[in-house]
Every structure is written in structure tokens, then in C-alpha cells.
Chains A and B, each alone.
Chain A
Amino acid sequence: MLLWSDTSALEATDDNGRLPLHLLCEAGFFSVHAIHILEKMLKAAPSTLLSRDIDGRLPLHLLCVSKLHTQLTYDAYRRLVQGLKGDQESNPASIQMHDGSLPLHNLCGAGHHSEYSLQMFRALVQAFPSSISAYDSGGQIALHRLCGASGHTTHTDLIFNELLSALSKIGKVGAELKTLQGVLPLHIICGAGNHTHNTYRIFSELLNLYQGSALVASTKEKEVRAQVRVQMPVSVHKVAYSSS
């Protein structure tokens, strides 16, 4: 009772700039009780909905990245975005974290997608249609995050098809689907690891899409190497050589 009457507790941040609402959303595995608490929190301190932690994350960013989206996760999502569509400043679907990620990036990169992930995906795209082609600071759009996610499911495949279709409508096809560093989704899905049946389905579609063209090294190789500046293990350098 004290909590709901004194909103200062709801607006108090931890060392990472997180409010109780952030922590609730990050925890995932929503129960009916958690939804009840969420409702009360939003009613008592509605401004917390747009509060950012030190990484610039809204509660919505954390909800999208949580594992195993259920019906209750979707319920939580609806409560978070309720009444905040409209102008861009108060539309949480359009707010980027410090690394440039939109909630849609987080949702696509979360992996282990369920039917509720698909519903959240559709709702996020509807709330902010431009998010499908928005780049994060790593030069990736949501499609790249989806390909790199772990545990591709049937619903990942469905999200992939909807994303691809939406991107083609705005002219993003073929080579246009590269990251800003010139990486194709085909590369990303190959490197995702733990490949599933659905990974293979997405891979096959991408392979058909890029038949031939993706199989040559990027011309931007030098530029990207300069940007990324990642050194390979010394032992590998030792054995790397050119042999005819």
C-alpha cells in the first residue's frame, strides 16, 4: 500500500539507472500477479514508462529481449504501449537505446520466438512502420538480428517472411539487405550456431535469394576491418600463410 501511495519508490533507480519497472520487464516469465503489479506501477507512476536506464533502455526494450514470450508477455506489452501511440516522442516503439536498437531489434534478436513474439512483432511494426528498415549503431536492421538470433523456431520463420515481404515493399531487396558494413543476412545465419530446422528453412530462402552473388567476398572488406579492429588469436596468425 505504501508503495502505491508513495511514487518515489517507483521512480528510484539502482546503479544501472533501472527502475522497478525495468526489473519487472527484464525478468520475463510473466505471471498473472506480475501483470497485476505492472498495471499498478503504471497507474501510480505513468512517467516511468518512458524512463531509460544507463544504456538508454526503456522497460519495453527489456520486455522485448526477454526469453520465452507468452500470452502474459504480450499482455504486458499491450499495457506498456497503451495510450502512447501518436507522436514519435512518446511512442516507445520508435525510441532507440544508446546502441541504436529499437524494441523491434530486441524482439527479433531475442530468439526462441513464439506465437506471441509474432504478435508483438506485428504490433511493433504497426506502431512504428519505419522500424523494419532502421539501422542500429552496429549497422544492422531487424532482419539481421533475426538471422543472428539463437534457436530459430517456426515463428522465427514467419517473422522472417513478414519482414522480408515488408522490406521488399519499400525496395529493400537483394544487395540492399546488407548491413551498413556490407554483410548479407546469409552470412549472419550461417554464423548463428545451433542451427535448427527453421534455420535451415530461412537459410534456403536466403541462398535462393543470393544465389551466386553472396558467395564472393565483400568488396568492403578493408573498410570493415578498419572499423571493427578485432584481432584474431595469435596462434591463428602464426599458421596463416599463402600456399599455391
Chain B
Amino acid sequence: MQMHLCMFPLYMRPIVLAQTQLPIHVLCYASNHTEFSEKMCRDLLDSHDDSVKAKDARGLVPLEVLCESKALTSYSVEISSIIAKRQEGSSTTKQWLTALKVLCSNSNITEFCVDICEIIIAKLKHSQASVKVSQEFLPLHDICGSKVHNEWTGWLKNVDHGFTAVKEVD
């Protein structure tokens, strides 16, 4: 049986995460972000600018870890905006696309995922005018393949409409 972090008591989860991740990674994965999570994020990034680019053992940067968090809130959107802004100069198109793919793979798509999706797509558009579409990055596959469809998965699909980089190319 495959084990997921949610199967562990709350107080045990950071043990798993923290060993391979920086505090900013752990913060991004935390559930139910609040205004104080946002403050904590700013403080962590102010203390260590490079942490936005830092990868954990799975090769994920903080924004990608945030995208896989299961209980996103409006403050998660703020956090993603802060991180995306700081990441702007150094991130490649591939990295933005990875974040988008992780987001689309999230099993709990909500309106906040749509907001985060918009932020990432804005950065993607800004980062490269013309993007070569790769078979590796097909966020729509992840959305359509999601086991739980709701009104927000439909919105998420609309968000990337017209953006060539994430269109289906099958």
C-alpha cells in the first residue's frame, strides 16, 4: 500500500518533510495557510533569498510544494504570488510548467488552485514569448485525469485556454 503524508498524525508530518526540505518547503506544504503563514513566508525569504530556488530531495522548489498542498486557502494564493515574484528572474519556462503540472495533479482542486494557476500562467507568458510544447507537460491531461472533478476543474481548464504552451498536443 502506498503511504501518504496525510496518513500520519499532524505532529509527525514535519519529521518526514523537514529532513529533506527547508523551512520554506515545509511552510508551503502546511495546511490551511493564514495571514501569519504569509508573514512567515516573507520572513523566511527575507532571511534567505535563495530558498525560493532550493530543491528538496524530490527536486521540487517551494512553489511546486505549495501546488501539491491539499488544503489551500486565499493566503496560499498570496504566498504563491510572493514566491513567484521572487522566483521570476531565475526560473525557466520548464520550472513554471512543472509547477503548473503539479497544481493540475492536485487531488483537491478549488478556486484557490485557479488563482494560483493564473499567477503561474502570467509568469509563464512573461518568461517566454514562444514556448515549444513538450509532451512532458500536459497539464490538461492531469486535470482531465483527476479522479475528483468539480466546478473548479472546469475553471482551471478555462484558465489555460488560449495559452499555447499548455494546450493538448496529442
Range for the number of chain A residues in contact with chain B:
35 or more
Stretch at the interface among A115-123, A154-162, A233-241: A233-241
Question: Which B20-41 residues sit within 8 Å CB-CB of chain A?
Answer: 20-24, 26-27, 29-34, 36-37, 39-40
Q: Does A60 contact B (CB under 8 A)?
A: no
If A187-B14, A193-B32 touch, whether A225 touches B19 (CB-CB below 8 Å) is yes
Interface of A, secondary structure class, is: loop
Does residue A30 face the partner (Cβ distance < 8 Å to B)?
A: no
B95 nearest CB across to chain A (Å)? 6
Contact (A187, B18) CB under 8 Å given A150-B10, A195-B33: yes
Indicate if A1 sits at the interface (CB-CB under 8 A): no
- Is B82 an interface position by the 8 A CB rule? no
**Dominant SS at the B interface?**
helix
Complex interface: chain B residues within 8 A of A233 (CB): 2, 4, 68
8 A Cβ contacts from A204-242 to B? 204, 207, 211-212, 214-218, 220-221, 224-225, 228, 230-237, 239-242
Interface residues of A in 130-176 (CB under 8 A from B): 138-140, 144-145, 148-150
Contact A183-B32, Cβ < 8 Å, known A190-B14, A191-B13: no
Residues of chain B within 8 A of A231, CB atoms compared? 2-3
Pairwise interchain contact B14-A188, C-beta atoms closer than 8 A = yes
Roughly how many angstroms separate A244 CA and B59 CA in the complex, as a whole number? 11
Q: A183-B15, A184-B18, A225-B20 are in contact. Are A235 and B105 (CB under 8 A)?
A: yes
Interface: A109 (CB within 8 A): yes
Q: Is the CB of B15 within 8 A of A243?
A: no
Q: How far is the CA of A138 from the CA of B8 in the complex (A)?
A: 12
Q: Which residue of A lies closest to B46 (CB)?
A: A207
Q: A187-B17, A190-B14, A221-B57 are in contact. Are A230 and B3 (CB under 8 A)?
A: yes
- Which B residues are closer than 8 A to A by beta carbons? 2-5, 8, 10-24, 26-27, 29-34, 36-37, 39-40, 43-44, 47-48, 51, 54-60, 64, 68, 71, 92, 94-95, 98, 101-102, 105, 142
Interface residues of A (CB under 8 A from B): 109, 138-140, 144-145, 148-150, 179, 181-184, 186-188, 190-197, 199-200, 203-204, 207, 211-212, 214-218, 220-221, 224-225, 228, 230-237, 239-244
6 tightest Cβ-Cβ pairs between the two chains A and B? A187-B18, A191-B14, A148-B11, A193-B31, A190-B27, A224-B19
